[in-house]
Structure 1
Amino acid sequence: MATKKKTKAGKPAAKTKSAAKKPASKASGRSVSKAKTAGASAKKTAKAKGVKAKTSASKSPAKSGSTTSSTSKKTATKKGKSVKTSSATVSRKAKAKTKKGQEKPAVEVIELEVVTPQKSGSKPSKKKSGRSKVEADTKVAANNDADDDDDNDNDGDGRRPARLRSQPVEVQEIDQRIDRERKSRLVPFTPRSYGKTPKKPKPSEIVDLLGKHMGKAPSLPEKQMPATVIELGIFCIFALGGNSAKASLDATNRLTSRFPVWNEFRVSEAYEFLEELEGISLSEAYDHCEQVLEFVNEVYKDQNDVDLEFLRDMTPDDRLVALNRYRSLGPALSQYLALALQNFEGVLFHYSWARPIQRVGIIDRSGSPKKLCASTEKSFGGLDTVTLQVDLIDLGEEICLPKAPNCKNCYLVLHCKSRKV
């Protein structure tokens, strides 16, 4: 028990309790020992994992009734993700009553920084960049401008216009078919009755029937032949449209005399040609003027000159191959011009005229082009073989097709033994 003593002034003075002093020192001793033990175990763990441990000891005076805590921060990086920090309390609260001026026992504070090595296959973490609103608006505006430029390059269907050379073969065939239909010479034909059995025709009946429905392909005597191959092609374009040889030749001579320079000729317009052809009886004159202008421009683009005189030195087969490159002519006009280069004589093989003539049954079927040409010359000897070839090519290209022939609208349906009606 503590005793009270009186001072000289008569006031009691309280001494520090000796019984309370010992437990306080023991409690502080326990906290220090536990803190040291925790620090030692943390150091061992850090060394085992290959981690650097940083320790720092700090001493600070404490007031009576204050609490002391030791915190450790652990930072770990896992698989390239953001760093997480955690704090742990190492020591417990120690309560001690001390005298005035007595210093608090030192507490050891340990700070740990644990960093796990990043795997080689993991991706580095991306830093979040705070982009300003002005930069974002600028980027969006730039993207919109790029989209507008792309839209200007696209056509009405949203696709980029491609050149003809880059288009597939199917698309080119469709374009050629549409162009042929626009320039087609075939008139819709449907007979009153197909009859039970087809009638075997004579060669002269076939020529007359084709000339009646499709028009003739007139020939020129050698003295009246145009001087150049280009002029001969212009004559063929006018003549195959159902016009007479005289009217077609007059139209050719008038245009070439009015525009003697081919560069001036090809940059002219179709209506200018039409004005020069006034007084000449031509059927569908404007369409023929457009085709003439297209033919001359196509020759210029292909040869870099308006000249086809080299065709005279070629064989008939090579001549057809060279002329078939010009889409403005087509198969029938190419055949017509090739025959004109040999004075409108002979028979030149083409699949489109050989197919319908064999289906009709006038000549025997054969896989040899030479035999087919010889049989045709023999069967139609003395007749207009030029009209026969040219008209049969148009018929084979548009109606008498290889796989799906339109027999009901064919001019030769009443005489064809291979018809399907």
Structure 2
Amino acid sequence: MSENEDNRFGGRARRYVQVGSRVGALAARLAGERYLGLKLDRAEHAEGLKQALGGLKGPLMKVAQILATIPDALPKEYAEELQQLQSNAPAMGWLFVKRRMAAELGPDWRSRFAEFGQEAAAAASLGQVHRATGKDGAELACKLQYPDMQSAVEADLKQLKLAMSVYERYDKAISTKRIYEELSARLREELDYELEARHMALYADMLADELGVHVPQAVPELSTRRLLTMNWLEGSPLLSVTGHDPEFRNRVALNMFRAWYVPFYFYGTIHGDPHLGNYSVRPDGSVNLLDFGCVRVFKPSFVEGVIDLYKALRDGDEELAVHAYTIWGFENLTKEKIDTLNLWARFVYAPLMEDRERQIQETNSGMYGREVAEKVHAELRRLGGVAPPREFVLMDRAAIGLGSVFLHLKAEVNWYRLFHEMIAGFDVRELEKRQATALKAAKVPAAA
């Protein structure tokens, strides 16, 4: 299928109509509240928006999930509702599956499997997964992309830009320009299942020594740009283990921590979508990583900046904090803005500051970081706002997403020791070498 066919005008036009009415209503009602003094029941409106997006499938639902965990990218009422969007959209039917599989593997596609499940094992925002058995008896997972997804992405991104711009007109605390640029780049990448297969290989390499983390292996001869076949990993949903004993829950939390931060601190790479549907838990407490569409590679200096900011907060070194924010890409920062950003940083780094076992958040808030984020947001608005760099978006997303996971698990871990074991002997030049070697082997592009 050609690029033009894949992103054809008709597909975009249908998506504009389908999505535009919902996003347009959001924009109009928010504008009416702001500029005309109209009263808006945000809780009711947010519930309606969630219902509309949840029935759409596609990238806008995924963006909503991501935005809901980035502090203050959306009003509180919308974030709370959109966080409930899970990877359980209604699956496409068997006739659709047969057509799509034939388009990807040819008309004799069924002869290439011993068995192929007609019912989807999971359905998400951009595609659905079917369980299958290979000719060699191997248990497989076949991730099949929905049709017209490139058209859907381009249409949804235009509508998202509109919604963000309207929100920013009445609340200038956070500039959304770079957030939009980052989300756009990552969403377009998620359409390329060949790239996701390379991400999977990269993670298998980076986590090869982590016995508590499992990564599937792609089956190239049964994969295309829109079909990704991999070995099936058995496991239970994370929420199903929250009733286990504390030792088990802490073991799961430890494995999750290492699954995300070994790649970051040793290879400058992060899994940008720690969503509940993207991993499962084995009976021994080890975890399966299941989705590699949203992977972010950072320049080694960015990782160094993360460690420098920790040291700056620990030692009260204002100059080092300025240096760290500058490395990250923040611009035109005044002392007041830095002090305000540090409020958020101190919250994120707090569990790493104390050499003791503790929960990731020791407040009564049900949403990880919400109270601190609201205070930071109000102060940034007073100071004229900031423009978060693109790299900050998914890093923050990962920190908040993982924090939420650890809250669900009620894990009590010595985060201080985990972190210090990981950064002991950190050398940015060594990271640069390791990263270059791993990216080259997996054929994954370096950070731009």
- Asked whether the two chains share a fold, i.e. TM above 0.5, the reply is no
| Structure richer in helix, relative to its length | 2
Q: State the structure with more CA Rg.
A: 1
TM-score after normalising by structure 2: 0.24
TM-score after normalising by structure 1: 0.25
